[in-house]
Structure formats: structure tokens, C-alpha cells
Chains A and B, each alone.
Chain A
Amino acid sequence: MTDTAAAVNAPSPMEPSMYRVTARDVESHDTVTLTLAPMADALPAPNPGQFFMLWAFGIGEAPISVAGVTADGSIVHTIRAVGAVTDALVALRPGDPVGMRGPYGTSWPVDAAAGADVLVVAGGLGLAPVRPVIDAIAADPSRFRSRRVLIGARTPGALLYPGASARWESQGVAVQRIVDRAGPDWTGPVGLITKLIEQSTLSEHTHAFLCGPEPMMRFSAMALIDQGVPPEQIWVSLERNMHCAYGHCGHCQLGSLFVCRDGPIVSWAAAQAVVRIPQR
């Protein structure tokens, strides 16, 4: 086959693979967790922090971070309904088809934190992209000096993955939760997640993984730096207007970064200079 013929026959990078919904767990009134299994050949296994482009047929596609991979290789995504595409994805039921392409982007450098104190800071739906990190550190305690997870949510009822949180605690991970507001049934802390950071014992040996709304990550990164954590050891997950997902279209350009290709996981040392640039 000639080079030209090979190029013509190569699959388009925009062509999705067919997957099917095998499980649908309702997390809240607008958020579900879908488990997706391949209908034919599986896509490459993702690393923690990477994302797939999910197609809602007839409507469009959206970048969705990986919340986990099951033992049989199915991909787990937690999706909140915030627009036309995600409305359609959230409405999918077991048996429904969905298109996927990927995985794309950079991943959380969990291996670089071996031997160190690991801190995961997650706000709202931001718990989904760091869930694979938490699963990894929970499963392998001997690799890390300490393991702590701080979770922020709008209300107690909006806290994601209560079952998984209990399992992480049973595996020796220190898990603390804080909410923005609560009724009298909640006896835990109320306030900003930075309050939990300020109460934590941190040092230059801490490696931190942050995911949530960008202002939350900015304030969290500053609180971490105030406690001696080097910016190079603080990792954040950026979100921008990703379309092609492989650095071709430029929609997600953020300063010198293409978030889909150079991110979404970047160190705070790299992110702090560009994170205040408005999304186009």
C-alpha cells in the first residue's frame, strides 16, 4: 500500500468507537455515573486524569474525564447535565450506544509521589477526575508516606461517591469532607475547602492533586504554597473549550498551552501564569 493509500484508509482521529452503557448510577438530580463497555474493539486504556470525547449521537460530543476503569476494562464516567450534549449523555440508559474517542491528554503523576505525602483536594464534580488517583493510593499504602483526601461540596447531599469514600477510609486514607452550607443534620465542617488545607500538616514532601472549579484550585494552590508545598508538586486539572481533543483546532488554547494536548493535568508552576486568561 502506498503512503497515500494508507493515509486515505487510516481511521479519522475524529471517528468515534462504539460503546454501550452497561450501568447507570444516579449521583444526584443532575449527575449520573455511566459504565461504558466496547461493542467491538476497545480503545486504549486511559491513565488517571485523561479524558475521552463522548458522542451523543445526533447532538454532539463533549470531553468527559475518566472516573475509573472496571476490572473488565469498561470505562466509568461521571457526567453532570449542563448543556445539550451532557443532557443527552445523562439521559442514556443501560443498553444505549454512545460514541467514544480517546483517551486524550496528560495524566496525574501518581508515580512521582511515591514515598511522599499525597494530598488530594477535590471540589464538587472535580472528585470524578481524581477518583482514579484516590483508588490508586488507597490500593497501595506502602508506596506513600501518608494519604489524605479533602472533598468539598455544595451541600451534604451533593457529596459524590459516599460508598467509595467509606471504602477509601477503610483502606487507611484520611478523608475529610466540607460543605458550603448545611442543615442541622450535618455535624461535619462547613466552609471553604481551604479551611481543611490550613488544618492539614503539609510540607515540601507533599504532592498535591487538585480538581474542581478554577477559583477553588487557585485558592487551594495558594494555601498549599503558604504551607510550604512547592508549586512544582501541585497538580491541577484545567478545563477549557475542547473540541478536537488532539491539539489541532486551537479552541482550548490557553496562553502557550493547548489544554487538550498539554493538559488537562498541569503543574501549578505552569498553570499559575495562564489560569486567569478568560475562556474564549
Chain B
Amino acid sequence: MTDIAHRLLAMPALATFDQKVVDVLASQARVVSVPAGQRILTEGDPADTFHIVLSGRVAIEINSPNAGPIAIETLEPGELLGVSWMLPPYRCTFDARVTDAAELIAIDAVALRAAADADPALGYALFKYVAGVVRDRLQAARVQVLDLYRGRDD
């Protein structure tokens, strides 16, 4: 097993993956180090790479003409950065910027999509993984929309 495969399996969200799935992921992966402040995804760009955070922190941002970049969520070690690679039109829907120097596993989404198309079991495993992430973030976004901490005059 490669070092990247070991590191993937050590993540709670991936611990239940079959070895075969992890091996395919690892075969398309490389570890990258990104300094604080660097943008790694840009809204509208092709979603041809996704990342898993190994260390540091990455902010998902929306750019507002009045307020500039607004962080709506941060991703911590073990979390998936990027879900748009899974479904057409394979286009990033947010900006992502490293806020605390990060080490990431970068995975070639184009190659992985081709592998998933050829192997439905692999594709289903990946789809369940991404769907779980989307479910959790949808739930978080719904609660954030409630703006629970808002004061009367905010």
C-alpha cells in the first residue's frame, strides 16, 4: 500500500472504503503543500481536481462586490474540498482559499470519473462518500440560514 493510501485510510470518513477503492484514489493522488493566503479553487473554473485536507485549514468563500470574500465554511483535516467534480457541468461553484498553511491530497478528478464510469462499484462508493458530505453541508447551510445568533438590529 502506498503512503497516500495509508493516509487516506487513516481518515474516519474513508475508513470504511474497500482497499480497492482506496488504491484507485491513491493512484490518482499527490500531496501538495499550500501556504496561507493562496487561493486553490476559483468559482467557475473546471472542477478537474478535488482535495482532501491533511493539515491546516481551507475556507470556502463567496465573493461579494460590497463585502469582498466572505468565508461561509472552513474545512479541517479529514474533510473533502470540492464536490462539483462528481456531476456535470464539472465546474467549481465557490472560491477556496487556504487560511492556515495546509497540506492537501490533490486527486485527478478527470481520471477518477473515467475509472468510476468503468467500474460502477467504485462509482457507487465514491457517490455515497460525496453524497454524505453534501448532506452534512446542506444541513449546516440550512441552520446557518436561520441566522440563530442575529440580534434585532443586525
Interface residues of A (CB under 8 A from B): 28-31, 80-83, 123-125, 152-154, 158, 180-184, 186-192, 194-195, 199, 212-213, 215-216, 219
Contacts and interface: CB of A to CB of B under 8 A. Distances in A.
Interface stretch (B66-74, B81-89, B122-130): B66-74
A153 B149 contact: yes
17 contacts: A29-B153, A30-B153, A31-B151, A80-B151, A81-B153, A124-B149, A152-B149, A154-B147, A154-B150, A180-B149, A181-B72, A183-B70, A184-B97, A187-B57, A189-B57, A189-B76, A190-B59
B100 interface: yes
B69 A184 contact: yes
B3 interface: no
A158 B76 contact: no
Interface stretch (B16-24, B40-48, B108-116, B138-146): B138-146
A180 B145 CA distance: 10
A219 B144 CA distance: 12
A123 B153 contact: no
A199 B76 contact: yes
A158 B149 CA distance: 9
B27 interface: no
A187 B36 contact: yes
Contacts of A194: 140
Contacts of B144: 180-181, 191-192
A46 to B, nearest CB: 25
Contact of B71 (A125, A186, A213, A216): A186
B148 A81 contact: no
Output the residue of B69, B97, B152 with the most chain A CB within 10 A: B152
B143 A192 contact: yes
A213 B99 contact: no
Contacts of B74: 188-191
B151 A213 contact: no
B100 A215 contact: no
